[in-house]
Amino acid sequence: MTIHFGRAFSELAPSLFDALKTVTLLAILAFALALMIGMLIAVGRISGNKILDRFLIVLLEIIRGTPLLVQLLYVYYVVPELISFVVSFFVPDFHMNFGAFEAGVIGLGINYGCYMSEIFRSSILAIDKGQNEAALALGYTKHQALRKIIFPQSIRISLPALGNYLVMLLKDTSLCAFITLGEIILTTQSYAAQTFLTIESYTIAALVYLVACIPLGYLVRVLERRVTKYV
pLDDT digits (tens, 9 = 90+) for 37-69: 999 999 899 888 899 999 999 999 999 999 999
Is residue 35 pLDDT above 60, yes or no? yes
DSSP type of residue 183: S
Q: What's the pTM value of the predicted model, to 2 decimals? A: 0.89
pLDDT band at 73 (very low <50, low <70, confident <90, very high): very high
- pLDDT tens track for 166-214: 999 999 999 999 998 877 898 899 999 998 889 999 999 999 999 888 8
CATH architecture type of domain 5-228: Orthogonal Bundle (1.10)
Average pLDDT over residues 20-36: 94
Residue 227 pLDDT > 70, yes or no?
no
The whole-number pLDDT of residue 231 equals: 53
* Spatial separation of the C-alpha atoms in residues 11 and 86, rounded to whole Å: 47
For the cut 60, the answer to whether the pLDDT of residue 230 exceeds it is no
Residues 47, 53 contacting (CB under 8 angstroms): yes
pLDDT on residue 33: 97
Mean pLDDT, the chain, as a whole number? 88
